[in-house]
Chain A
Amino acid sequence: MKEYVMGNGAIALGALKAGVNVVCGYPGTPSSEIIETIAKYPHEGLHLEWSVNEKAALEVAAAAAYSGARALVTMKQVGLNVASDPLMSLAYVGVEGGMVVVSADDPGPISSQTEQDSRRFAEFARIPVFDPASAEEAFEMIQDAFTYSEKYKTPVIFRPTTRVDHGYAAIEAADTYTPKSFEGFKKDPGRFVIFPRLSYKNHGMIEERNVRIGEDLSSYRFNTAEGGPSAKAVLAGGISYMYAKEFLQDHPGVTLIRIATAYPFPESFMLDKLKGVEELLCLEELSPYLEEQVLKLAGRYGITLKVYGKISGHVPAMGENSADSVKNILKDFLGIESLESSGGVSDAPALPARPPVLCAGCPHRASFYAVKKAMEGEKTYYCGDIGCYTLGNAMPLDMVDTCLCMGAGVTMAQGFSHIDKDGKAFAFIGDSTFFASGMTGVVNAVYNEADITVCILDNSTTAMTGHQPHPGTGRNMMGHVIQKVSIPKILEGIGLTKVITVDPLDLKAAVSAVKECAGLKGVKAIIFKSPCIAIEKSSKKCTIGDDCINCKKCIRETGCPALSLSEGRVVIDASMCTGCALCSQVCPVSAVKGGV
């Protein structure tokens, strides 16, 4: 039966069809739905987990792959940075069963810190990479990725991009799946224990092998050329191939070359397709990877042709491509006159800006507000982290001074506390991020005598990426109820000066907890505990009474999106309000009624 699923669902169904035995990952947009889809098909012989972070995920999977099982690891591109330590070594050791590392890239970036290109990572680690251009392709290609991984006994990277991950298509789904049968781990220290001598030997083997993989991939079904032959040709990879294809269906006669395996580069395929080509336009996102490969090839083989792309300045260096940007670049390249209007809205009235904000009733708003109130007039450092609560940076809260990467808030706050003894340094970290990479930072703080207050925004979920469970939620991806890992007990065990758990929606109690902690030396923690409103739906509402003096303090101080002005008066949108009562605790005349 066909299921209408997003590209991530297609990847999941493809992996299931390939008989995957172990699936691990850490949530991150745009990759999270892969594991969520697999969770809908539980079956005997499949182990599925949200790991605490990407490094853990990759290591769990590696052991399975050493044993001959098929393993899938999923993450977003910055997750690959976290997993890079085991990945780089694993590339030397190799695997027995197929192992595919999905690293979802995010051109734009739409919801990421970086515009890094996982194809570069594959080359860096000297392992193959597959680059699907659609959900349908992703379904087929992930199965091929397992086959190649097993054939060459190497982990491989599978690199979709946001538009592929989030684009829907009808994909074949089976009622039941059978995991691969495998022999199990065979002890072989000469193979599985990495030592300098082994790395030296395997390095040589890998370089020699990759030439053979490049040859093999020269006949790979998704490395294709269509149209032409023509003196002006187009080379594309990933979603840009689809954009080019859509435009060129109305402009036949132009060769469209598509490379789905950027590394090891399919040289003989490319050399063959370059015959007679005088000018080549390279369309790809993130980095000019294919463009560089062609330039290298031209130098090595003495081919004369002009190569256009990001390096030559014909394609923007940053941001994502689109059907329209690719169309315009192609028109320039092919010398096609443009007759259409640009689709511009230059005469339109000024549009209201809609920056992403914390949801109405979000407990993070109350937590930030409590710290802000408690610290009024003090010199402070507010170190944020990755999650919904990064949005605490927006006006009027303005409570995020730094945000770098997962877990960095806890450690950066320490840096500020060491160089400025007069300031008060705070770290804000979510519960899932705390387990992923915050805990070790807290140990560092205690060991190195930092003076910081760690604010744990515990909403019992991984909200930003779509509400995945984590060790503190008492439930895992196998559907089992487990003993909750207790954040206060961890903190007590590490030996903090003070650990307070408080309900952020109780403003008075929250403010006094912050004041108490900020006044103490050493490492303190406040656990702001209140569930994410998207998970625990509230039927409570607040309303504004006639005694409202219309001072607008509620809007100005909280910025809650449920509050707005209607005909000059402050009103609460009942469809959004969760009755959190933050605004009523802010109101100077107690005009807000209802709620908690």
Chain B
Amino acid sequence: MDKDILICGVGGQGTVLASGIIAAAAMAEGNVVHSAETIGMAQRGGPVTSHVRIGDKAFSPLIPLNKADLIIGFEPSEVVRNIGYLSAQGIAVVNTTAVKPVTASLSGSGYDGSEMTAYLKKRGNCIFADATAECESLGSVRFLNILLLGIAAGSGRLGIKKETMMSVIEKRVPEKFREANINAFIKGYDIGSATGQG
């Protein structure tokens, strides 16, 4: 399998675990995988991206523009920031809840993500879900990353089996949150399959 997956969000949203899970699951299915994270200064409240590159034709650690088959977006403006990476046939999974940067609060700008979602709707090739609200209904926003992985897997665009994903998630998350994470994944998976993208 050759596949380029870009995960984007804001520092602290759990993107790193999400990319680790995809990488491990893709390897478990026998693929060569490379990935890269933005860490350091940029991590604190800044935009973060993880690039997961599956297959042996990828040499650059970062996905070139117009090459991503899938974007998993934890925040609408971060999807817009990275939309140039999406290939013509690619799909973006977009969480519609905005993370308001402190600069927006200070300047009183009313950023709430809606104009980003509107822009992406116009552009097309997106699956929208209020994943944050779905997580809250499960009890905590800390499972946002797993729920979004579920949507991506359910949409059929991830190219990794549901069972493989679930067994990796079980291994990767702390024992006491295992059940909650699996529930989040399944909830996401159902949302993803309902989009009929697969």
Residues of A with Cβ closer than 8 Å to B?
Answer: 4, 6, 29-30, 110-111, 134-135, 163-164, 166-170, 239, 242-243, 245-246, 249, 322-324, 327, 340-345, 347-349, 351-359, 388, 391, 395-396, 464, 555-556, 559-561, 563-565, 575-576
Contact = CB atoms under 8 A, between A and B. Distances in A.
A564 B27 contact: no
B24 interface: yes
Interface of B: 10-12, 20, 23-24, 27, 32-47, 57-66, 77, 80-81, 83-85, 100-106, 108-111, 115-116, 119, 141-142
A167 B36 contact: yes
A340 B65 CA distance: 10
Q: Which of A347, A354, A556 has the most CB of B within 10 A?
A: A354
Given A170-B27, A246-B59, A348 B36 contact: no
8 contacts: A166-B61, A170-B32, A345-B80, A348-B80, A349-B116, A356-B45, A561-B45, A563-B102
Contacts of A345: 80-81, 83-84
Contact of B36 (A166, A565, A575): A166
A307 B151 CA distance: 50
Contacts of A575: 141-142
A59 B82 CA distance: 45
Contact of B64 (A134, A166, A246, A555): A246
A563 B106 CA distance: 10
Contacts of A561: 45, 101-102
A395 B36 CA distance: 31
B93 to A, nearest CB: 18
B46 A168 contact: no
Contact of A352 (B63, B77, B85): B77
Q: Which of B32, B47, B85 has the most CB of A within 10 A?
A: B47
A576 B181 CA distance: 20
Contact of B46 (A134, A164, A354): A354
B61 A242 contact: yes
Contact of B105 (A239, A322, A565): A565
Nearest to B109: A352
Q: Which of B59, B65, B101, B141 has the most CB of A within 10 A?
A: B59
B181 to A, nearest CB: 17
Given A357-B102, A359-B45, A560-B102, A324 B10 contact: no
A127 B48 CA distance: 37
B42 A564 contact: no
A165 B24 CA distance: 19
B45 A357 contact: yes
Contacts of B11: 356
Contacts of A359: 44-45
Contacts of B119: 347-349
Given A4-B27, A388-B44, 8 more contacts: A246-B59, A322-B60, A323-B63, A348-B119, A349-B115, A354-B101, A355-B46, A556-B106
Main secondary structure of the interface of B (DSSP, over half): mixed
A249 B101 contact: no
Given A167-B34, A352-B111, A343 B65 contact: yes
Contacts of A246: 57-60, 64
Contacts of A327: 64
Contact of A169 (B34, B44, B115): B34
Given A345-B83, A349-B119, A245 B59 contact: yes
A30 B35 CA distance: 16
A358 B44 contact: yes
Contacts of B77: 351-352
B39 A242 contact: no
Across chains A and B, which 6 residue pairs bring their CB atoms closest together, nearest first?
Answer: A343-B65, A343-B84, A167-B61, A111-B40, A323-B60, A323-B64
B65 A564 contact: no
A79 B120 CA distance: 44
B44 A559 contact: no
A559 B108 CA distance: 12
Contact of A111 (B41, B104, B106, B142): B41
Contacts of A163: 36, 61-62
Given A110-B40, A343-B65, A353 B33 contact: no
A347 B84 CA distance: 12
B100 A564 contact: yes
A541 B39 CA distance: 27
B58 A239 contact: no
B36 to A, nearest CB: 5
A4 B23 contact: yes
Given A242-B60, A323-B60, A354-B47, A349 B34 contact: no
A324 B63 CA distance: 9
Contacts of A249: 57, 59
A168 B115 contact: no
B193 to A, nearest CB: 28
A16 to B, nearest CB: 22
Nearest to B85: A343
Contact of B41 (A4, A110, A351, A576): A110
A28 to B, nearest CB: 10
Nearest to A349: B115
A395 B106 CA distance: 9
Given A111-B40, A169-B34, A559-B106, A322 B46 contact: no
Nearest to B66: A343
A166 B42 CA distance: 13
Contacts of B106: 395-396, 555-556, 559
B101 A243 contact: no
B44 A168 contact: no
Contact of B108 (A245, A357, A565, A576): A565
Contacts of B83: 345, 348
Contacts of A245: 59
B136 to A, nearest CB: 10
B16 to A, nearest CB: 10
A348 B142 CA distance: 29
A349 B85 CA distance: 17
Contacts of A391: 44
A134 B62 CA distance: 12
A396 B103 CA distance: 9
Contacts of B58: 246
